[in-house]
Every structure is written in structure tokens, then in C-alpha cells.
Structure 1
Amino acid sequence: MMESNPIDRRKFLARAAVTGAAIPVAAMASGTANATDFNNAAADNGKFPFPTDNDLRVLLTGDAGTGTPAQWAVADAIRELHTRETLSMALGLGDNIYELGPNGVDDGQFAAKFEDPNHGLDFPWAMALGNHDNTAVFPGDGGWLLRGDDEVAYHSRSRRWWMPSRYYSVRVPEENPVVEFFVLDLNPLAAYLPPLFVHYWAVDGQYMNEQRAWLDAAIDASPAKWKIACTHHPYLSNGSHGDAGEYDGIPIEPMNGVHAKRFFEEHVVGRCQLILSGHDHSMQVLEPTIESKGTRQIVSGATAKNSHGKTGPRADDRRTLFQNFTDVGFMVMDLNADEVRLRTYTVDIATGTSTLAFDRRLV
């Protein structure tokens, strides 16, 4: 959400829920949504290829698409790191086009808020959809799910941008994979303006039922050592948005993300070693909980915005390895068949220089 917006977000969203989130039906009708395996799209001509090595260095970004000096400063720091330690690929954890999402595949925002800031970072970026990417009325309301399809369509226009479907998986390397990333779309379950009028997008509608069945089968079939879920919305967060089921302190279902919580608990936790998310403009490395069944939550949502120190109700009492709510920055994950190592870097916006703030083997 925009930090400086004068509208009280919680009051606005609560009123929207009471009034039935009156978004025009035409704005929420189904677009394309069938999942495709990421590797089936890897033969697209001209796109940067995925790595074939067993030692991978993966960039983690989230909430990046502002086009502001902060995004450029973080990108400058990433480019400097890339000259010293070659990055294999990137994960973009949603809110790729602030504040309202794109307006068609030819929208200049794709250049201004993705291609131009990331020039020289010439590797595949596996992108997830965020709530701002699906805006209908209020920035980040998640209420126009068709808008996200413009980002899927952009997959065919960019060498970097990889989003062959709204949800998908990618195995790296493709043969004998070390890791499989499961890129999920939980926007129908976590939208502040929920899809009340089109059953296709509903909690028990075709889109989410197909995604659940696909994810269960894909995880079961995965030969990868590491299985990592990539979402915009976190399962757990010490930031101001908070945990699924308690998002933004909103007491109204489904706007509090209760259905996202159930999705995580029924299909992700205990089955993937890590959940990578954005949404909160912070960097967090949380310890696994009893509820997460050993799955660790990581939040990397500070690529262009920070939380200005604002935290959620769990920030002081939940066990964490690292959390930062005041800086912009990025994360780098080094993976091989034996271990997963994570580093976080804070970035000075004025100079574009980075500082290593956390470095630890996680598994």
C-alpha cells in the first residue's frame, strides 16, 4: 500500500467489504488462467536461458516496480554485486507495476519500472503477481484480476520477464534439478476487494481449485532437493500487513486473508522448505513455527520501498534470524545440492552502495 495515501486503508477496505465490493462484473470476468509448466516455455526464442549448473545464485526482489530513485539505487547495488558474483536468475515477488498495475501489454510502465532499472541484469526473472498488479479502484485492492493477465502477456515481449501463466513452476537446472520454484497466485484469496460476483475466481471456484490440484501434483512429482514456494502474500510476517488470516488487522473475512492461510496450511507448509514473499516492505528471515511444520518464511519486499520502521503485532515476540523495517535492499540465495545460504543487503538510496546485513546457511 502507499505509505503516504491520505485515505485510511483499513476503514476504506472495511466499508468496501460491507457494501459488497461493488466492482463491475465485466472487470472481473475470467481471462486466461490455466497453469503451464515453466519449462515448457523455456524454448521461447530470444529469452535469457535458465542456468544449467548445480550451483545457483538467485536474486530475491519484491515490491520493486516504482521507477523511483530507490528502485534504481537498489538495482545499481545489484549490478555491482553481479560484476563480482554472477547471479544465475531472479525472483520477482509481486507488485511489479506500482501503483495500479499495467494497462495492456504495450504499457510503457514495463520499460520504466522493470526493463530500464534492471538494465544489464541479463538473466531470467521469474515473476509473481501482487495485489497492486491487479488493482481495480483503490491502489493495491487486488480487485481486477484480469489486469494481471497483461503481465502474463508481457512474457512474450521481454527477454528478462518470465511469467508464462499466472502460476507455474520452474526446475533449475531442468535436468536433475537442485531446486523447483512454485510461483503461486493467491490474489483471489487475499484481495481487499474480493471477487464476489464471478465464481470462477472464488475461493472454491475453478481457478483456485485448478491451482490447488496443480500444486499438489507438482510438489508430489518434483525430483528437486529443494522445493520453494514463491508468493506475493506471506504466510507469516512481522511487518505491518501481518500474518495470513490477520492481514492489516482487518476483522472481516475474506479480506483478512483467512483463505490464503488455509491454502498455505493445506498445500504448502510441511511440503516446501521455504516460502518466499513480498507485500510487506521489509526484509525478514523468520524461524519455522509449529504451525509452519518446519517451513521457513522469508520476506523480501524492500526493493523499492521500506516500512519506515512500522511493524506488526508479532515483531517483538516471534523468533527471527533477521528483520529490517527501515531500509531498502535485496536478498541473494545461494543453493546447491547440499545447502541453502541466504544473504541480505541494505542499500543507501543516495549512493546506491550496499551493505551486507545478514549471511547465514539456512538448511
Structure 2
Amino acid sequence: MHEQSPIGVGRREVLAGAAGAVAGLGLFGLTPAAAVPAEVPKFAAPTGGRVRVLVTGDAGTGTRTQWAVADAARAFHAREPFSLAVGLGDNIYESGPDGPDDIQFATKFEDPNTGLDFPWAMVLGNHDTSAVFPGDGGWLARGNHEVAYHARSPRWWMPSRYYSVRVPEQNPVVEFFVLDINPLAAYIPPLLDPYWSVDGPYMNAQRAWLDGALADSPATWKIACTHQPYLSNGPHGDAGNYEGLPIEPLNGVHAKRFFEDHVLGKVSFLLSGHDHTLQVLEPTPASKGTRQIVSGAAAKTSGGHGSASGPAHPALFDTQSELGFMVMDLTPDTVDLRVITVDPATGAGTQVFDRRLA
């Protein structure tokens, strides 16, 4: 068994009755092989035809700013309850957890999000898989600790490194496809381990799974969730030109190809973090009608620094210097998006954007 499955789950074992039996719920989400069964009751999955999603990313600092954004989310939840959250990576700053029992899961996830008691579909980020320096993405297997934590937390949902979630389970309004493109975008590429390589077993299995899952999805809305974006007006920039670097593969050229071959044109929205910004970008010819949304300002901001990739992409909304989160409301017929910015001193949220996107 390869190092990517350290908790003893066979690669052909799927998340079937185990989690449902423990949680008293049906299967919430569909996963590939090597899924982890829950050992604790999970917060209930939404069942109605209206789905309200907290879209947040790059939160896991444990600092006052993370708490301020969580305070604003709690206040919003009290007025208009969320169905679930999507956490778009960099869940445990600065370098990821040291194991599934790491105290950082409490201080940088559970404690700040007290009262936000619904499922959190979590994405792996580059800081979650650090090796030599924070955020290098050079220890990809480190992400398995966050998968293992799925068994221990009522709210943390990451049964596999990539997976999908249908909401509601029957006749889904939306299906989220949570993806792991860290092997394609790491600042320390996995050159010495063929398992994680661009065309190695891990990525080829993910590609095949995603192609099949998208084709089989009965959901009205299909949404991909990644940490690194395809397009961004923030400092990290676009896939294929990350950090403004002309050097392959550090510029994310393999991530760009993954998006263009397997994601774009097949989903309505691509939700990403990575840049500590709030962006609602317009679709482009290259994105094949898929709209890129970046929500990575749940604990840090980019400080107003623009993209390293070149001219800014057209956007319905774009702030590089404010903390905040997004709220996505979905019905079988509509998708509405709101942006909430947050005062770091008071935790007060202000709605600054409200638009029907579909």
C-alpha cells in the first residue's frame, strides 16, 4: 500500500454503509477509492431544494482575523442559516498538521467555527502539504492527515483527497466536485515520486474519476472546488503563469492543462482560494463558460497587490484588501451570490455584492 493511505483503508474500499451507520445518515457525497469512514456522528446533510453555502478559504490561522470572519459568518447564520460550507484549502497554516490528532485542528478549525454546525466540505491547499518551507506543497502525503481527521470531526468533511458531494442526496440541486491539484501546482514538484507525478497513478485516477463523476452527475448545478484557481487577479495569478514565472512546471502549466481538459465547460462555477482576495470574475472564451470565483480572504488579505500574471480579468466584483466570505444560494432554477466583507476589529460583516449569476 502506498504512503497516501496511512490509516489502513484499502484503495478499493469505498465509503458506503460505515459513515451512514455511525452518523445515522445516508451517504452524503460520492467518493473514489480509499475513502475514510466516519467514527463520530456527522452534522446532518441538507435535504431541501434550497441550498445556502458558506464559501470561504485560506482560513486556518487561528488568529484574531480568522475569528473575526467566523464571527461575521455566525451572525449571518443566525439570520439566514447555512446548509453547508466549502473550505477552499490552506486549512492549517503555515505548514499543515502533523497528524490527525494535531491540536491545530482544534485551534485553527473547530474552535473558531464553533456554532457553525453543518458539514464543511474541505479542499487541500499548498500550505496543508508543506515540506521545506510553508506553502511549498512539497510533502503531498501530509494531506492524508486531513483526510484521516474526517473520522474524528462532526463538521470536517474530507473522506478522500478528492470527492464529490450531492446536495440534497436525492434529486440534487448541486454537486460539488472537490479536487486536489496540488501535485500539479506544488512549488517543489514531486519529481522523485512517480506516484504523484503529472501523469502518475494518483493524478490519472483523479482525472478518470472526475470525468466519470461529471458525466454521471444528475445535479442541476455542477461546481468544481480547488485551492489554486484557473484565473485570478490576485498576486498568485493565473494557472500557467502562477507568480508570473516563465519556468515550467512552477508556473502551474500542468494545472492549466488539467482545468482546460477536465473542468472548464463541464461545470457552471469554479470556486478557488489561494489568493487572499474576493473575486467574482466574468467567464472568458478560454474558460468555456465556466465562471471563476475566488474566496480566499477568511483570515488574510493580499494587501492590495495585483496579479503577477498581467492585466486584470473583467470582474463583477474584486477586492484585494478586505477580509470576508461569500454566500451562494442555489435552487433548481437560480444561483445567487453575495459577498460579505468583514471589519477585522469588530467582526462586523457588510454585504457589498448581491447578484443573480444564473
Please confirm whether the aligned pair reaches a TM-score higher than 0.5, indicating the same fold: yes
1:199 is matched with: 194
Query: Does structure 2 conserve the Cα–Cα contact (< 8 Å) formed by 1:41 and 1:164?
Result: no
Query: Does structure 2 conserve the Cα–Cα contact (< 8 Å) formed by 1:55 and 1:335?
Result: yes
Q: Indicate the SS of the match to 1:119.
A: coil
Is it true that 1:240 corresponds to 2:213 in the alignment? no
Distance 2:135 2:116 in 1: 27
Is it true that 1:31 corresponds to 2:13 in the alignment? no
- Please report how far the alpha carbon of residue 200 of structure 1 lies from its aligned counterpart in structure 2 after TM superposition: 0.5
1:328 is matched with: 323
- Please report how far the alpha carbon of residue 251 of structure 1 lies from its aligned counterpart in structure 2 after TM superposition: 1.6
Distance 1:267 1:250 in 2: 24
1:169 is matched with: 164
Q: Indicate the SS of the match to 1:156.
A: coil
Equivalent of 1:103 in 70, 91, 98 = 98
Distance 1:241 1:210, change over 3 A: same
| Residue ranges of structure 1 left out of the alignment (5+ in a row) | 1-28
- Please report how far the alpha carbon of residue 106 of structure 1 lies from its aligned counterpart in structure 2 after TM superposition: 0.8
Equivalent of 1:282 in 257, 262, 277 = 277
Distance 1:132 1:289 in 2: 29
Equivalences for residues 288-327 of structure 1 within 5 A? 288-313=283-308, 317-327=312-322
When normalised by structure 2's length, the TM-score is: 0.91
Distance 1:76 1:190 in 2: 32
Equivalent of 1:261 in 241, 252, 256 = 256
- Please report how far the alpha carbon of residue 42 of structure 1 lies from its aligned counterpart in structure 2 after TM superposition: 5.3
| Residue ranges of structure 2 left out of the alignment (5+ in a row) | 24-40
Distance 2:277 2:180 in 1: 20
Matching residue's letter, 1:31: Q
Equivalent of 2:220 in 200, 225, 238 = 225
Q: Indicate the SS of the match to 2:90.
A: coil
What do residues 174-213 of structure 1 show as CA deviations (whole Å, max 9, x unaligned)? 0000000000000000000010001000000000000000
Distance 2:74 2:200 in 1: 42
Query: Does structure 2 conserve the Cα–Cα contact (< 8 Å) formed by 1:48 and 1:122?
Result: yes
- Please report how far the alpha carbon of residue 315 of structure 1 lies from its aligned counterpart in structure 2 after TM superposition: 7.3
- Please report how far the alpha carbon of residue 32 of structure 1 lies from its aligned counterpart in structure 2 after TM superposition: 2.1
Equivalences for residues 1-363 of structure 1 within 5 A? 30-32=3-5, 43=20, 44-45=22-23, 46-313=41-308, 317-363=312-358
- Please report how far the alpha carbon of residue 255 of structure 1 lies from its aligned counterpart in structure 2 after TM superposition: 1.1
Distance 1:40 1:308, change over 3 A: farther
Query: Does structure 1 conserve the Cα–Cα contact (< 8 Å) formed by 2:87 and 2:121?
Result: yes
- Please report how far the alpha carbon of residue 253 of structure 1 lies from its aligned counterpart in structure 2 after TM superposition: 1.0
Query: Does structure 2 conserve the Cα–Cα contact (< 8 Å) formed by 1:282 and 1:326?
Result: yes
Q: Indicate the SS of the match to 2:350.
A: strand
When normalised by structure 1's length, the TM-score is: 0.90
Matching residue's letter, 2:174: V
Distance 1:41 1:281, change over 3 A: farther
Distance 1:251 1:315 in 2: 13
What do residues 246-301 of structure 1 show as CA deviations (whole Å, max 9, x unaligned)? 00112211111100000000000000000000000000000000000000000000
Matching residue's letter, 1:161: W
Distance 1:324 1:35 in 2: 44
Distance 2:274 2:50 in 1: 28
Matching residue's letter, 1:30: E
- Please report how far the alpha carbon of residue 135 of structure 1 lies from its aligned counterpart in structure 2 after TM superposition: 0.2
1:22 is matched with: none
